[in-house]
Amino acid sequence: MGSVNYEKMLVSDKVFVRVSLGYFDFVEKDTSDVFYGTDNYISKDRLRITPICLGANYMVGNKWRLELGGGIAYWIISYEGESQLTDFGGLTEVSGGGNYFNLYSTIGLRYQKPGRGINFKVGLSPTYAKIEGEEATFNFPHLSIGYSW
């Protein structure tokens, strides 16, 4: 799981827009037959998600800042497998690929000196997804390092 982000300040040290491209991979292996052993499995289902996000964030503070924001995430999903995933964040009917618009929010703590320099972020990004008719909330933690110029 990872992403590359670009942020552009709209209001100096307060409001910025963010564009990101991410990737994560969820694999489920069915090992219910004890005769196969621990390294073998009966079936393997793989869900790959490439999210493209666009959002806005607001920061409060000087060097240590509270960061609040939200936006829209466009998920490009591919699925490989013989059956459905039994559970992916509360979704139980994922059995194919597709493209889906989802909403996300973010809350976190950011260390960034005013002006140029390295910044660090830690936080949580709840994502509200609707995939193949099912709804779920994913609470994605985030940890990042960046550079401001």
75-94 pLDDT, tens per residue?
998 888 766 666 667 666 66
Q: In this structure, what is the dihedral angle of CA atoms 138, 143, 145, 149, given to the nearest 10 degrees?
A: 50
pLDDT of 141 reads: 93
Which of 74 and 27 is assigned the larger pLDDT? Answer: 74
- Strands (E) in the chain, as ranges, are 2-11, 15-30, 43-61, 64-80, 98-111, 117-131, 134-148
Amino acid at 113: K
- Whose tokens are 């194919």? That residue is 96
Query: How does residue 117 score in pLDDT terms, banded at 50, 70 and 90?
Result: confident
Mean pLDDT computed over 36-52: 72
Parallel, antiparallel or unpaired: strands 43-61 and 2-11: unpaired
36: pLDDT strictly greater than 60: no
108 CB-near residues (< 8 Å, 6+ apart): 66, 67, 121, 122, 123, 124, 142
Predicted TM-score (pTM) of this structure: 0.80
Q: What confidence score (pLDDT) does residue 68 get?
A: 97
Residue 39, helix vs strand vs coil: coil
Q: What is the mean pLDDT of residues 40-56?
A: 83
Mean pLDDT of 82-110: 79
> Per-residue pLDDT for 142 more than 80?
yes
As given in the structure block, the two tokens for residue 57 are 């964030």
Judge contact between 43 and 27, C-beta under 8 A.
no
Q: What percent of the chain has pLDDT over 70?
A: 81
